[in-house]
């Protein structure tokens, strides 16, 4: 049986994209798979009794080495902020290509803690900073130093000792450009270096609390229990900075979504589901419920989503336990058809993610197709005609071209870059100043404008000739010819409309990272946890691939 | 060192700030990235151009022909470049194209380089005594010094180089003969048991 890929007009709606969850395709999981046979080492650990100083961790295989350099320093409580506008942090990190020399460490010591106002070099691959969750951090040290393990309840309320507030890569602040690394197979997956940085930072946080507790009370202190370590991840605060990324990298976005859609299609095409695969699916599903019941958020929006998800999941479990026959042909397809008709988007995508768990043979090859070569499709095919362009717009932007942008509500926001921090922001164009400096992210509006502009053009006119007088719409002409080849490259929604929920855009990206426990702090930023439940670096040679469901608290 | 990614983003924004559309600014960002990658002075020329751009007038060419002459005010290299790139498939039918009076002609070069890739042909370009060969946007050969800024040029010409071998038939035969020394002479037994396509089989 041949199943069609899901319709981009439906899947690329923001409410659907904002309902995505981690899966076997997620970058932090594929990073662990790739690096499981690398040698992990702590090369330097030079911290004082307060945990301030530097440390170096590395992954090594044959002659390849990646080193994380950590700088930890004193920070006044009043200086601690997760906002991107902060200028000081509890710790700063950089991933270096190879073994850093003394001069490298000195150079990085003078720059990495400054983050955006420092400079790094082409020898560095990723840059980040993080703040302590002071309450948890202090509680853990207090407990360990008197010979006790910390209270698991307190630990599980937060889920991490540190949270990063930005993780940079690909040429930012002088970091290595992607082209320098493109032939390295081990990092041929999106954000793999960023994942490595975050994963090694997690280990640093455990070593730091053990070290401080030990020096505080050398005779009584104990080390943090390994099981507790595994259940701690790294938090992350994410704001609007991430949102334009998915608009600015249409081919990359396509490749992520296409991988997910292809996996689902292939799973739905399985004629007979093997008993072991059914068992693994069911086991992951049941265990994953802990993920939802331990998902804390103060956001009413998220609380409602979690409540609905839990209710839908119970409905689904009741269905498969009492009314569903896994032995029937194309069982996953029938299951999918049922969930599409009976459950809400959040739960549909949750189950789609879990469906992938038994099928490494399907997801493994897809992981390798999730990067992109954006340059290859940058040139506009100017020999094509207005006829072609009109056809693309009518087929691929079917809903977008129906939007009336003369209505105020459809034209409410503008995206801009803040002068203070060079970060993307969103504002109401009818209230705030600055809309004349709008970024080219209002794709829906500009596509509609393009559609109207070509209305009276001759079908036979070449795009090259059209552009002579219409270069103001060049950016969307380019996109139209990209979506023709890459069906999931465009968000099928208006991201300047009054009903925009920006965190949907963040959640989409973070779900592909492999984040858990989305915790919106407003409609524009949220907190998440990464690597919670993941094996520790010295356990990588042999770990359970479904760790994400096994170890959650 | 500034990364290519930073060069792309920053020059794109600078170009938009000068009043070009976002789509054109995207082209310029990509061009500056390419020029710096090839070791050509892209940012330097762009910076100088943008210093004087707001106070001067430039000819904004639309349709490019075989002879393009702007007597009074120079051609804007960015608008010229965008149109060259957009029209290159039509323009390649001309063997040679001449431009007279271009401001900051170095900024036109990356468009030509990309044009070479689009049509799959090398392009030879002369800015007076300075010569360039564009090889499918993979490399650029030139006889210029590294950090050249040219504010204006009277004569710029370019020719499309038809794809042809750079060696004679005899030279090819000689090199081919050498390559044959890596082949095994097939005796009858090898012919019988070692099936496989021969040198001239294409099926």
Give just the sign of the alpha carbon dihedral A149, A153, A159, A160: negative
Q: Tell me: pLDDT of A553 over 80.
A: no
Q: Mind listing the pLDDT tens digit for each residue in A63-117?
A: 999 999 999 999 888 888 877 667 889 999 999 999 999 999 999 999 999 988 8
Count Cβ atoms below 10 Å from residue A330 Cβ, excluding itself. 17
3-state SS assignment for residue A544: coil
The answer to whether B5 contacts A172, with C-beta atoms less than 8 Å apart, is yes
The upper half-sphere exposure of residue A522, i.e. CA atoms within 13 Å in the direction of its Cβ, equals 7
* Burial class of A523 by CB neighbour count within 10 A (0 to 12, 13 to 18, 19+): middle
User: What tokens appear for A337 in the block?
Assistant: 């058809």
B80 → chain A, closest CA residue: A468
What's the length of chain A?
553
CA distance B8 to A294: 44
Nearest to B5 among A177, A469, A477 (CB): A177
Range with lowest mean pLDDT among A181-185, A269-273, A307-311: A181-185
Q: Tell me: pLDDT of B195 over 90.
A: no
Question: Sheet holding A233-238: strands in order across?
Answer: A39-47, A53-61, A64-72, A91-97, A124-132, A160-169, A233-238, A526-530, A516-520
CA proximity to A350, closest of A362, A336, A364: A336
Nearest to B3 among A174, A378, A417 (CB): A174
Q: How confident is the model at residue A392 (pLDDT cuts 50, 70, 90)?
A: very high
Q: Mind listing the pLDDT tens digit for each residue in A373-388?
A: 888 999 999 999 999 9
The answer to whether B85 contacts A478, with C-beta atoms less than 8 Å apart, is no
CA proximity to A202, closest of A515, A536, A552: A536
Count Cβ atoms below 10 Å from residue A366 Cβ, excluding itself. 22
Instruction: Using a CB–CB cutoff of 8 Å, tell me whether A469 touches chain B.
Output: yes
Q: Rounded mean pLDDT of chain B? A: 91
**Is there a contact between A544 and A281 (Cβ–Cβ < 8 Å)?**
no
What's the length of chain B?
203
Instruction: Using a CB–CB cutoff of 8 Å, tell me whether A473 touches chain B.
Output: yes
Phi, psi of A40 (to 5 degrees): -95, 145
3-state SS assignment for residue A256: helix
User: What tokens appear for A226 in the block?
Assistant: 């390994």
pLDDT of A330 reads 97
CA distance B149 to B143: 14
Nearest to B4 among A171, A380, A467 (CB): A171
pLDDT of B193 reads 67
Rg (CA), chain A: 24
Nearest to B22 among A175, A417, A440 (CB): A440
A176 → chain B, closest CA residue: B3
The answer to whether A471 contacts B90, with C-beta atoms less than 8 Å apart, is no
**Is there a contact between A497 and A415 (Cβ–Cβ < 8 Å)?**
no
* Burial class of A129 by CB neighbour count within 10 A (0 to 12, 13 to 18, 19+): buried
CA proximity to A242, closest of A160, A166, A128, A164: A166
Name the DSSP class of A277: H
In Å, how far are A357, A500, A501, A507, A509 from A523, measured between CA atoms? Answer: 31, 9, 6, 11, 15
Which of B1, B3, B78 is the best mutation test for A, with the most CBs of A within 10 A? Answer: B3
CA distance A223 to A380: 59
The answer to whether A468 contacts B6, with C-beta atoms less than 8 Å apart, is no
How many Cβ contacts (< 8 angstroms) between chains A and B? 75
Phi, psi of A385 (to 5 degrees): -115, 170
CA proximity to A61, closest of A207, A198, A196, A226: A196
Q: Tell me: pLDDT of B199 over 50.
A: no
**Is there a contact between B99 and B156 (Cβ–Cβ < 8 Å)?**
yes
pLDDT of A518 reads 84
E strand residue ranges, A135-277: 160-169, 233-238
Which of A467, A469, A470 is the best mutation test for B, with the most CBs of B within 10 A? Answer: A467
Q: Tell me: pLDDT of A256 over 50.
A: yes
Average pLDDT over residues B33-58: 95
Query: For residue B82, which residues of chain A lie inside 8 Å, CB to CB?
Result: 467, 471, 474
SS3 of A55-77: EEEEEEECCEEEEEEEEECCCCH
**Is there a contact between A8 and A250 (Cβ–Cβ < 8 Å)?**
no
CA proximity to A411, closest of A449, A383, A378: A449
User: CB within 8 A of B199, min separation 6: which ones?
Assistant: B183
Average pLDDT over residues A321-333: 96
pLDDT of A4 reads 96
Average pLDDT over residues A294-320: 88
Instruction: Using a CB–CB cutoff of 8 Å, tell me whether A375 touches chain B.
Output: yes
**Is there a contact between A187 and A35 (Cβ–Cβ < 8 Å)?**
no
For domain B55-161, the CATH class is: alpha beta
Residues linked to residue B159 through DSSP beta bridges, in sequence order:
B96, B124
Q: Tell me: pLDDT of A164 over 80.
A: yes
CA proximity to B27, closest of B103, B85, B89, B92: B85
User: CB within 8 A of A406, min separation 6: which ones?
Assistant: none
CA distance B30 to A379: 10
Phi, psi of A354 (to 5 degrees): -70, -30
Q: Report the percent of chain B where pLDDT is more than 70.
A: 94
Find the angle CA(A422)-CA(A425)-CA(A426) to the nearest 5 degrees: 160
Query: For residue B21, which residues of chain A lie inside 8 Å, CB to CB?
Result: 471-475
Q: Mind listing the pLDDT tens digit for each residue in A454-488?
A: 999 999 999 999 999 999 999 999 999 999 999 99
CA distance A223 to A148: 9
Instruction: Using a CB–CB cutoff of 8 Å, tell me whether A182 touches chain B.
Output: no
Q: Rounded mean pLDDT of chain A? A: 93
Q: Mind listing the pLDDT tens digit for each residue in B81-120?
A: 999 999 999 999 998 999 999 999 999 999 999 999 999 9
Q: Tell me: pLDDT of A538 over 70.
A: yes
CA proximity to B1, closest of B41, B36, B50, B48: B36
B89 → chain A, closest CA residue: A383
DSSP symbols for A121-160: -TTEEEEEEEEE-HHHHHHHHHHHHTT-PPPHHHHHHH-E
3-state SS assignment for residue A197: helix
CA distance A19 to A286: 19
Phi, psi of A9 (to 5 degrees): -65, -25
């Amino acid at each position: 049986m041949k199943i069609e890929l899901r319709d981009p007009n439906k899947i690329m709606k923001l409410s659907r994209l904002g309902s995505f969850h981690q899966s076997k395709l997620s970058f932090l999981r594929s990073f662990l798979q790739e690096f499981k046979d690398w040698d992990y080492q702590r090369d330097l650990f030079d911290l004082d009794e307060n945990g301030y100083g530097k440390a170096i961790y590395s992954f090594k295989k044959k002659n390849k080495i990646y080193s994380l350099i950590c700088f930890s320093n004193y920070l006044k409580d009043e200086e601690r902020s997760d906002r991107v506008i902060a200028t000081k942090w509890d710790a700063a990190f950089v991933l270096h290509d190879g073994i850093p020399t003394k001069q490298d460490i000195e150079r990085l010591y003078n720059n990495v803690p400054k983050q955006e106002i420092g400079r790094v070099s082409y020898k560095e691959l990723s840059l980040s900073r993080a703040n302590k969750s002071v309450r948890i951090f202090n509680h853990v040290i207090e407990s360990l130093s008197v010979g006790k393990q910390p209270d698991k309840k307190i630990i599980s309320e937060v889920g991490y000792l540190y949270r990063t507030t930005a993780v940079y890569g690909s040429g930012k602040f002088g970091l290595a450009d992607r082209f320098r690394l493109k032939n390295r197979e081990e990092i041929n997956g999106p954000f793999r270096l960023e994942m490595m940085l975050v994963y090694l930072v997690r280990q640093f946080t455990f070593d730091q609390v053990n070290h401080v507790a030990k020096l505080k009370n050398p005779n009584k202190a104990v080390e943090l229990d390994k099981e507790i370590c595994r259940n701690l991840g790294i938090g992350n605060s994410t704001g609007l900075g991430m949102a334009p990324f998915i608009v600015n990298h249409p081919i990359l976005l396509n490749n992520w979504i296409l991988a997910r859609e292809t996996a689902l299609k292939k799973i739905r095409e399985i004629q007979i589901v093997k008993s072991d695969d059914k068992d693994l699916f069911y086991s992951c599903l049941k265990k994953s419920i802990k993920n939802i019941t331990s998902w804390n958020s103060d956001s009413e929006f998220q609380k409602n989503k979690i409540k609905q998800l839990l209710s839908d999941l119970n409905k689904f479990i009741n269905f498969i336990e009492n009314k569903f026959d896994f032995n029937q042909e194309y069982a996953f397809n029938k299951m999918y058809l049922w969930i599409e008709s009976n459950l809400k988007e959040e739960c549909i995508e949750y189950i789609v993610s879990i469906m992938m768990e038994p099928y490494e043979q399907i997801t493994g090859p897809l992981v390798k197709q999730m990067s992109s070569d954006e340059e290859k499709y940058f040139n506009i095919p100017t020999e094509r005609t207005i006829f072609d362009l009109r056809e693309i717009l009518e087929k691929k932007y079917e809903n977008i071209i129906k939007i009336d942008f003369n209505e105020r509500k459809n034209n409410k926001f503008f995206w801009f870059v803040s002068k203070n921090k060079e970060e993307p922001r969103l504002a109401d164009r009818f209230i705030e100043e600055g809309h004349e400096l709008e970024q080219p992210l209002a794709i829906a509006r500009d596509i509609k404008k393009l559609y109207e502009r070509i209305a009276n053009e001759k079908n036979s006119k070449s795009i090259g000739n059209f552009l002579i007088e219409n270069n103001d719409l060049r950016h969307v002409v380019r996109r139209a010819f990209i979506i023709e080849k890459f069906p999931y490259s465009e968000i099928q929604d208006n991201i300047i409309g009054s009903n925009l929920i920006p965190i949907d855009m963040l959640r989409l990206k973070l779900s592909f990272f492999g984040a858990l426990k989305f915790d919106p702090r407003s409609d524009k930023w949220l907190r998440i946890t990464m690597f919670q439940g993941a094996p520790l670096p010295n356990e990588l040679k042999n770990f359970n691939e479904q760790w994400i469901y096994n170890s959650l608290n | 060192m500034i990364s290519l990614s930073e060069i792309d983003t920053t020059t794109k924004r600078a170009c938009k700030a000068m009043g070009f559309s976002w789509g054109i600014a995207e082209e310029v960002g990509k061009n500056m990235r390419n020029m710096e990658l090839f070791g050509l002075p892209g940012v330097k020329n762009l910076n100088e151009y943008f210093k004087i751009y707001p106070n001067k007038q430039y000819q904004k060419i639309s349709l490019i022909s075989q002879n393009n002459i702007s007597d009074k005010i120079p051609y804007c290299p960015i608008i010229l470049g965008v149109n060259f790139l957009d029209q290159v498939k039509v323009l390649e039918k001309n063997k040679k194209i001449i431009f007279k009076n271009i401001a900051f002609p170095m900024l036109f070069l990356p468009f030509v380089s990309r044009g070479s890739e689009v049509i799959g042909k090398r392009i030879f370009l002369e800015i007076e005594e300075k010569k360039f060969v564009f090889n499918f946007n993979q490399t650029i050969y030139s006889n210029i010094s590294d950090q050249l800024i040219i504010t204006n040029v009277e004569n710029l010409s370019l020719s499309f180089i038809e794809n042809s071998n750079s060696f004679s038939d005899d030279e090819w035969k000689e090199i081919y003969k050498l390559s044959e020394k890596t082949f095994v002479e097939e005796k009858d037994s090898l012919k019988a048991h070692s099936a496989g396509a021969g040198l001239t089989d294409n099926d």
